[in-house]
Each structure stands twice: as C-alpha cells, then as structure tokens.
Amino acid sequence: MTTSEAAAQSLSIGEVAERTGLSVHALRFYEREGLLVGPVQRTSGGRRRYTPVDVEWLLICVKLRESGMPLADLKHFAELVRQGPGNEAERLHLLDTHRQRVDAQIQALEECRSVITWKVAVYSEHLARGAADGLWAPTT
C-alpha cells in the first residue's frame, strides 16, 4: 500500500464516531486511557487519522463493552496486543473468561424475562376481564 492509498483509506475522528457509534469525546477518552493498540496517526495539522485497522479494533471494543467488559480489562487486552506475538494464550484466556460471563448474563436475563413475562400476563389477564372484577388487588 502506498502512502496516498493509506491516506485515502484513513478516517477523521468524526467519521469514526459515525461508524462505531462512539462519540468523538469517547474516542479521545479511549485513546487517553490507553485502550487503543497503537497511537493514532496525525495530519501535519495535528488532526487524528484512523486506519481501517484502528476502526476494526474499535468495533471489537464496542462489542466487548456492550457485553459488559470493564474498561480495565479492555485496556489489559490492548496492552497484550501491543506487546505483539507470544502472549496469545493470555489473550485467549481473557476472551474466554469474558465469554463465560456473557453466557451467565444471558441466562440471568432470560430468568428476569420470564419473571416479567409472567407479571405481564397477570396484568393482561386482569385487564382483559375488565374492571368488573373490582375486588382484584394486585400486591405488586
């Protein structure tokens, strides 16, 4: 890839915000916090230029955050990647641990869902019978 091709593919912070769903504030915050793998390139004027690899990494960050990974873990993962090859086992462990947490979360949510669904059914049934049943007094 030539320099001009790289420049053509690179994106401004605003464009990256659009593509990732993160705010420009959050993007700068993530960078300060060391959550990115490399330092973001700058134009001669000092503006950030994100490469497609940067964006790919950010999209993964978004997925990990969305699923509840704390910023600290994300930072740790970024550090491992920065260190380069040799620590793949640790990266794997980090991801797999998180996957287990996500599984637990899904299960917990499904339990909540069934409790809520049951309550919704109770109210629906009551309303379907109409106000005629004036004595019904839901405790909750």
Q: For binding to a copy of itself (CB under 8 A), which residues are involved?
A: 37, 53, 56-57, 60, 63-64, 66-67, 81, 84-85, 88-89, 91-92, 95-96, 98-99, 102-103, 105-106, 108-113, 115-117, 119-120, 123-124, 126-127, 134, 136-140
DSSP string, 69-135: --HHHHHHHHHHHHH-TT-HHHHHHHHHHHHHHHHHHHHHHHHHHHHHHHHHHHHHHHHHH-TT-TT
Whole-Å CA distances, 114 to 108, 119, 140: 10, 9, 16
User: 55 contacts which partner out of DNA, a copy of itself, none, CB within 5 to 8 A by kind?
Assistant: none
Residue 112 binds which entry of a copy of itself, DNA, none, with Cβ cut-offs from 5 to 8 Å by kind? a copy of itself
Which C-beta is closer to DNA: that of 24 or that of 80?
A: 24
Strand-pair category, 48-49 with 41-42? antiparallel
Tokens of 10: 């690179």
Residues 8-67 that bind DNA (CB under 7 A): 12-15, 17, 23-26, 28-29, 43-48, 65
- Closest distance of CB 45 from a copy of itself, Å: 28
